[in-house]
A and B are shown apart, each in its own frame.
Chain A
């Protein structure tokens, strides 16, 4: 029940913030901040207070559209809770970074922001496939508004592209959900969208593979895997800072979450068939994303391509089918959200001050904004995988895991580290060091911005030093998924003999 209430809390806060904009521009910000902090508190309470044992830490079910077997089933295990924690944390930061940046239509902005968070929360806790698709769609529209109203110069194009890509792939997933629903209904006589019930559905191999492809289409597009990545640089670049943080930090993660939560357990056999293709796509994304990142002249676009590259590691790790890699994937989901979020906030702050994102116009900024430079250095080092920071743990785990699955691909993926060093150091070199090209008169980070960056910095270092605090929570979930996938695969192998 508490999960349902958190979603209502976010939506209610959104409506309230919109209403409050009638009286003042600051009130919506305060209301949103309070609402999300409360949300963060609730998630922390569950995180620390949950009893051990049981598959789901929190579980709630209620009838919704009984004629079709649709129920409101919400549940959270270690992975969901971790994602909720991330959602709440980035939610707070998004409100804080937009405090000065968003000056027009403040109420409506926060309404959209909170509805995105509500949709994402729904995605992370839905255990009914219909409800899952429902939440999946709910987060799109406000995101579209966020980009198309408060974005930069080319926002209409970017928003439209983002929407069409995700909507088209989402509808394919919806067809697959319906297909699965009917296949399960025909074979058992029970028509239901329930996740647990659908898990063991018996179906022929071609059917399973086709249905799996529908799901994979939606998640791969969200994960911005090459060749479905072209919406991402546009959307990230044109979105306001809060939008970029949410896109990179959370929306991309829903793709990874979907693969782990739905594709692997629902279609273990078909996933094995698909694994070689997925892993190759993962490696291609790592290298191609890195190459494109290096070639960008627009700083924000560069950071966006870093996401493409890092998401490649996630895809590689998921389809390696072992616990180490999967733990690495979960670590990467969190670490990438923090490091890229930090970079986007720095880019946004720079753009606010010098009104350009062109790397060619910057240079030698360190002397002007030492705090910003230091923070920039930290997050650039994080994203190139420096030991001691979160991304390093994640990528090492993924590569260790995938080495067992495919050596050649792992070696190729490891080349991504070299590329990462190149593009990351290029940011530092061109923006903060080097010759001073223009005389900017700009302010360094203020207290509000230092709070935001400081908390991100603490988290990324914490992740690097104490990764077990995260990994212990997700251990049980990862073990369950991997066991299920390997058992089914072994069974299928035995049948073949």
Chain B
């Protein structure tokens, strides 16, 4: 039975769903790009405000399905803010790349995907988690191939469809195994029932969790489930790539953290060993494969594989400091990567997105402001001081070393040195004296530039004054 407080706690989701319906009706009455964008932005902003509104009433559990606590609210806020930025830049991207076509449905799908993400981060039950995930996935299939006339869009969408469906099957099978063993689908009860079993059921339990890790690892693009990432990042439009990197991956990480904390899975040595191996592989593979990429979106895809490997270093450090470090790092990463994809959107022109390294040649002398922002972004991804990325990496290393996990800490250090090379390569390209004249957009959108500068300032600000975020993150769990 749903009660008043339950409805209140789900307010952000209700606002998104309501806003979506409202926008749909609006589109049916009159097709107008700007109007639809404004509707979408208003919906997201209202949902964000409602998260702030329900913040004091946390924690509130709705049966076994949802737990609206500070942790969930924080991630909801992150998801909504990311979606807000993505929407803003989608408008610029659609206007440039899809001028004559119907643009309005895109925003409905974007809102739907955001709804999925926002559901995932508060779910504490396999069913609510899976429903949220599928809402997110199905909207993404379409969003990835939305620019259907561009050469790689359909390919990317289809690839994502097949692989994501496959990974969902793995996930479901894993859940089924766990259900067969424990008779429960909620995270909380799993912890209680899992302990009572003999070695055979232990094997089944671990097999079930292993299959689930496959499904989750796919969404997070961890090695060896990473093959899709570069192709999809390249094929999708930049805002959508940004959406995948932030909302989709961030929501999945939140679920992973919550699942392991609530079901108390940190004590299983074998599972943690698997994560250690995955982390090492992701860090090294991601960085090594990114070395030779000339396409910036592919480079960012590989770098994101490595970054989620870094995140696993914090994850394996366990509850408490591990969760805090992962949350902090994810926040820093989301801000940075959003800025990166926004920047790509901003300097692209209608015939082609600016993805090749040569498109950035001598950007420093043509567009000093954009180039400075881009350098800040890349340096933050590389983890250089004065940027958010450095503070994040410090937090991760502190978590890793604090748990005595020297192997992971050492791999993180080695692989981030490798990583430096390709970030610097792009910075250096921007400094080349005379590049080919890629017709970069000479009048980038003013709103876009403003938001991008805000993100850039946030990166520096977090790098110099991270105290407030550290204490915010510590108050979540």
Check if B431 sits within 8 Å of A67, measured CB to CB: no
Per the 8 Å Cβ criterion, residues 121-138 of B in contact with A are: none
User: Given contacts A65-B466, A137-B385, is CB(A179)–CB(B417) below 8 Å?
Assistant: no
Q: Mark B433-477, 1 if CB is under 8 A from A, else 0.
A: 000000000000000000000000000000000110011001000
Interface size class of chain B, counting residues whose CB lies under 8 Å from the partner chain:
20 to 34
Q: Which residues of B contact A148 (CB under 8 A)?
A: 428, 431
Q: Give the complex CA separation of A57 and B360 in angstroms.
A: 49
Q: Give the complex CA separation of A138 and B460 in angstroms.
A: 13
A168 at interface, CB cutoff 8 A = yes
Partner of B416, one of A130, A159, A171, A178: A171
| B407, chain A: closest CB distance, angstroms | 12
| A186, chain B: closest CB distance, angstroms | 9
Q: Which residues of B contact A178 (CB under 8 A)?
A: 397-398, 401, 409
Check if A172 sits within 8 Å of B467, measured CB to CB: no
| B98, chain A: closest CB distance, angstroms | 38
Q: Mark B70-89, 1 if CB is under 8 A from A, else 0.
A: 00000000000000000000
B424 at interface, CB cutoff 8 A = yes
A296 at interface, CB cutoff 8 A = no
Tally the A-B contacts, defined by beta carbons under 8 Å.
62
Q: Give the complex CA separation of A164 and B422 in angstroms.
A: 11
B384 at interface, CB cutoff 8 A = yes
Check if B384 sits within 8 Å of A141, measured CB to CB: yes
Q: Mark B396-416, 1 if CB is under 8 A from A, else 0.
A: 011001100000011001101
B179 at interface, CB cutoff 8 A = no
Check if B431 sits within 8 Å of A145, measured CB to CB: yes
Q: Chain A: which residue is nearest B391 at the CB level?
A: A65
Q: Which residues of A contact B413 (CB under 8 A)?
A: 168, 171-172, 174-175
User: Given contacts A68-B398, A172-B413, is CB(A137)–CB(B424) below 8 Å?
Assistant: no
A163 at interface, CB cutoff 8 A = yes
Per the 8 Å Cβ criterion, residues 171-185 of A in contact with B are: 171-172, 174-175, 178-179, 181-182
A149 at interface, CB cutoff 8 A = yes
User: Given contacts A145-B431, A182-B401, is CB(A137)–CB(B384) below 8 Å?
Assistant: yes
Q: Which residues of A contact B394 (CB under 8 A)?
A: 130
Check if B470 sits within 8 Å of A160, measured CB to CB: no
User: Given contacts A141-B384, A175-B413, is CB(A163)–CB(B420) below 8 Å?
Assistant: yes
| A329, chain B: closest CB distance, angstroms | 28
Interface size class of chain A, counting residues whose CB lies under 8 Å from the partner chain:
20 to 34
Partner of A175, one of B379, B409, B428, B474: B409
Per the 8 Å Cβ criterion, residues 357-414 of B in contact with A are: 364-365, 379, 384-386, 390, 394, 397-398, 401-402, 409-410, 413-414
Q: Which residues of A contact B421 (CB under 8 A)?
A: 160, 164
Q: Which residues of A contact B385 (CB under 8 A)?
A: 133-134, 137-138
Q: Give the complex CA separation of A137 and B364 in angstroms.
A: 23
Identify whether the interface residues of A are mostly helix, strand, loop, or mixed.
helix
A421 at interface, CB cutoff 8 A = no
User: Given contacts A65-B467, A141-B379, A163-B424, is CB(A149)–CB(B431) below 8 Å?
Assistant: yes
Q: Give the complex CA separation of A171 and B390 in angstroms.
A: 11
Check if B466 sits within 8 Å of A164, measured CB to CB: no
| A357, chain B: closest CB distance, angstroms | 22
| A122, chain B: closest CB distance, angstroms | 10
| A172, chain B: closest CB distance, angstroms | 7
Q: Mark A135-147, 1 if CB is under 8 A from B, else 0.
A: 0011011001100
Check if A167 sits within 8 Å of B417, measured CB to CB: yes
Q: Which residues of A contact B467 (CB under 8 A)?
A: 64-67
User: Given contacts A66-B467, A134-B385, A137-B385, is CB(A175)–CB(B402) below 8 Å?
Assistant: no
Most buried by B among A66, A67, A105: A67
Identify whether the interface residues of B are mostly helix, strand, loop, or mixed.
helix
Q: Which residues of A contact B471 (CB under 8 A)?
A: 67
User: Given contacts A137-B385, A160-B424, A163-B420, is CB(A179)–CB(B470) below 8 Å?
Assistant: no
Q: Give the complex CA separation of A174 and B401 in angstroms.
A: 11
User: Given contacts A67-B474, A168-B417, is CB(A174)–CB(B397) below 8 Å?
Assistant: yes
Partner of B410, one of A140, A144, A160, A175: A175
| B468, chain A: closest CB distance, angstroms | 10
Check if B474 sits within 8 Å of A182, measured CB to CB: no
Q: Give the complex CA separation of A105 and B414 in angstroms.
A: 34
| B439, chain A: closest CB distance, angstroms | 23
| B300, chain A: closest CB distance, angstroms | 20
Q: Mark A361-398, 1 if CB is under 8 A from B, else 0.
A: 00000000000000000000000000000000000000
Q: Which residues of A contact B417 (CB under 8 A)?
A: 164, 167-168, 171
Check if A138 sits within 8 Å of B386, measured CB to CB: yes
| B398, chain A: closest CB distance, angstroms | 6
Per the 8 Å Cβ criterion, residues 118-159 of A in contact with B are: 130, 133-134, 137-138, 140-141, 144-145, 148-149, 156, 159
User: Given contacts A137-B385, A175-B397, is CB(A167)–CB(B379) below 8 Å?
Assistant: no
Q: Mark B221-248, 1 if CB is under 8 A from A, else 0.
A: 0000000000000000000000000000
Check if B424 sits within 8 Å of A144, measured CB to CB: yes
Q: Which residues of B contact A167 (CB under 8 A)?
A: 417, 420
Q: Chain B: which residue is nearest A67 at the CB level?
A: B470
Q: Give the complex CA separation of A144 and B427 in angstroms.
A: 11
Q: Give the complex CA separation of A449 and B390 in angstroms.
A: 41
Q: Give the complex CA separation of A137 and B380 in angstroms.
A: 13
| A424, chain B: closest CB distance, angstroms | 36
Q: Which residues of B contact A67 (CB under 8 A)?
A: 467, 470-471, 474
Q: Which residues of B contact A130 (CB under 8 A)?
A: 394
Q: Mark A89-133, 1 if CB is under 8 A from B, else 0.
A: 000000000000000010010000000000000000000001001
Q: Which residues of B contact A68 (CB under 8 A)?
A: 398, 470
Q: Chain A: which residue is nearest B431 at the CB level?
A: A149
Q: Give the complex CA separation of A179 and B402 in angstroms.
A: 8
Check if A179 sits within 8 Å of B431, measured CB to CB: no
Q: Which residues of A contact B401 (CB under 8 A)?
A: 175, 178-179, 182
Q: Give the complex CA separation of A167 and B417 in angstroms.
A: 7
Q: Which residues of A contact B470 (CB under 8 A)?
A: 65, 67-68
| A66, chain B: closest CB distance, angstroms | 7
Q: Which residues of A contact B416 (CB under 8 A)?
A: 171
Q: Chain B: which residue is nearest A66 at the CB level?
A: B467
| A59, chain B: closest CB distance, angstroms | 22
Q: Give the complex CA separation of A65 and B469 in angstroms.
A: 10
Q: Which residues of A contact B365 (CB under 8 A)?
A: 105
| A112, chain B: closest CB distance, angstroms | 11
User: Given contacts A138-B385, A175-B410, is CB(A156)–CB(B398) below 8 Å?
Assistant: no
| B366, chain A: closest CB distance, angstroms | 13
Q: Chain B: which residue is nearest A171 at the CB level?
A: B413
Per the 8 Å Cβ criterion, residues 328-376 of B in contact with A are: 364-365
Q: Give the complex CA separation of A108 and B431 in angstroms.
A: 11
User: Given contacts A65-B466, A137-B384, A141-B384, is CB(A164)–CB(B431) below 8 Å?
Assistant: no
Per the 8 Å Cβ criterion, residues 202-220 of B in contact with A are: none
Q: Which residues of A contact B409 (CB under 8 A)?
A: 175, 178
Taking beta carbons and an 8 Å cutoff, which residues of B are in contact with A? 364-365, 379, 384-386, 390, 394, 397-398, 401-402, 409-410, 413-414, 416-417, 420-421, 424, 428, 431, 466-467, 470-471, 474
Given A172-B413, A175-B397, 18 more contacts at CB 8 Å?
A64-B467, A65-B470, A67-B471, A108-B364, A133-B385, A137-B385, A137-B390, A141-B379, A156-B428, A159-B428, A164-B417, A164-B421, A167-B417, A167-B420, A171-B413, A175-B401, A178-B397, A181-B398
* For the complex of A and B, 9 pairs with smallest distance between CB atoms: A137-B385, A171-B413, A178-B401, A168-B417, A67-B470, A134-B385, A65-B467, A149-B431, A138-B385
A-B contact list, 15 entries, CB within 8 Å: A64-B467, A67-B467, A67-B470, A67-B474, A68-B470, A105-B365, A133-B385, A160-B424, A163-B424, A164-B420, A164-B421, A168-B414, A174-B397, A175-B410, A178-B409
